[in-house]
Amino acid sequence: MIRSLPMPDVTVPLKIGTRGSPLAVAQAVETRNLLMAAHGLPEDRFEIVVISTTADRVQDRALKEIGGKGLFTKEIEEALLAGAIDLAVHCVKDMAVEEPAGLISDCHLEREDPRDVFLSTGWATLADLPEGAVLGTSSMRRRAQALHLRPDLQVVNFRGNVQTRLRKLGEGVAAATFLALAGLNRLGMREHAKTIISADEMLPAVGQGALVIQRRREDALAETLTAPLHHRTTEVQIACERTFLATLEGSCETPIAGLAEFEGDLLRFRGEILTPDGSGRLTVETRGAPADAAEMGEAMARDLLSRAPADFFDWRRPVQA
């Protein structure tokens, strides 16, 4: 529950930066509404600013070919540093491991459901797909996980926002694809989530379902505004998962999955790394005190690194155009 505080002195509209996809805009609107509720501010005290990012503009190539996941946030972070916007709303899973100097992401919104959804034009599950079927995904993680379970599948690059990927699926570009349940929920499109994949079958991406508000480190007003929105439970989960990712030096080119969940007073973490072609897979699992979340993530990453052959991530399976 968002606690209401005395109204801050916001005399000009605060600018919230976001990508332009329908999901990104919906997330910015959600953030604006939470800020309004927390501080009793009217809607006209906020302005949502859509910023075009390289990842959104270049849709015909895989992310690894144009610079990696940081391209989802680069232009937005530059606008924040330049003072063109006051806050930025990011999906945690889209953020690079290292944050630019001068910026801080210390407000985590309550996490949505982190699981993946399987979507197909005629089949209920990945196991049901006919031999050699075409699977569409731009995620190295989902690609590797799917090929680990079904090495016979053909995988094609399937970039674009939720609506674009649903359209491509309907046009027969692929027989099936995956989406994040959190995105469907935030877009009010849960009716498409007919087959939700258990985390026991397919671990999600690190940070999936979590949003973070980024600000300039020295901006006291932004800190005051965002503080009551911060969700401590989500922060602990993300601290574990992101430290796991950072220790592995993960990127969009590296199939890594990880999920931290509370079980009573303990934090349970499960993680895995895969070869890009899905032929190899190493897993870890641990439980510990929430105060040790970051240390848990680092320890599990080092465990995997100690067991992985030096060339573990060097395998490649060609992706059809």
Cβ distance 235 to 210 under 8 Å?
no
Domain that holds residue 27: 14-109+207-230
Tell me the CATH number at 183: 3.40.190.10
- pTM of the shown model: 0.89
Residue appearing with tokens 């060097």: 314
**Residue 155 within any structural domain of the chain:** yes
Q: How far is CA 147 from the centre of its chain?
A: 21
Clarify whether residues 91 and 168 are in a common domain: no
94 catalytic? Reply is: yes
Question: Which tokens is 37 given?
Answer: 């509720």
Inside any domain, residue 201? no
Catalytic option among 94, 116, 277, 314: 94
Question: For residue 227, what are its two tokens?
Answer: 């503080």
Residue 317 lies in a domain: no
Domain count of the fold of the chain: 3
Contact in structure between 16 and 89 (CB atoms under 8 Å): yes
Listed in sequence order, the residues at least 6 apart from 29 whose beta carbon sits closer than 8 Å to its beta carbon are 48
Q: Is residue 7 part of a domain?
A: no
Task: Please check whether residues 24 and 87 belong to one and the same domain.
Answer: yes
Q: Are 51 and 20 in contact (CB under 8 A)?
A: yes
- Per the domain annotation, does 175 fall within a domain? yes
Residue 63: helix, strand or coil by DSSP?
helix
Tell me how crowded residue 98 is: count the other CB atoms within 10 A of its CB. Answer: 8
- Residues 160, 181, single domain; the answer is yes
Beta-carbon count within 10 A of 300 CB: 26
Q: pLDDT digit of tens for each residue in the chain (321 aa)?
A: 444 444 456 667 999 999 999 999 999 999 999 999 999 999 999 999 999 877 565 555 555 544 555 667 889 999 999 999 999 999 999 888 889 999 999 999 999 999 999 999 899 999 999 999 999 998 999 999 999 999 999 999 987 889 999 999 999 999 999 999 999 999 999 999 999 999 999 999 999 999 999 999 999 999 999 999 999 999 999 999 999 999 998 766 789 999 999 999 999 999 999 999 999 999 999 999 999 999 999 999 999 999 998 888 764 444 433
In the chain, the N- to C-terminal Cα span, in Å, equals 46
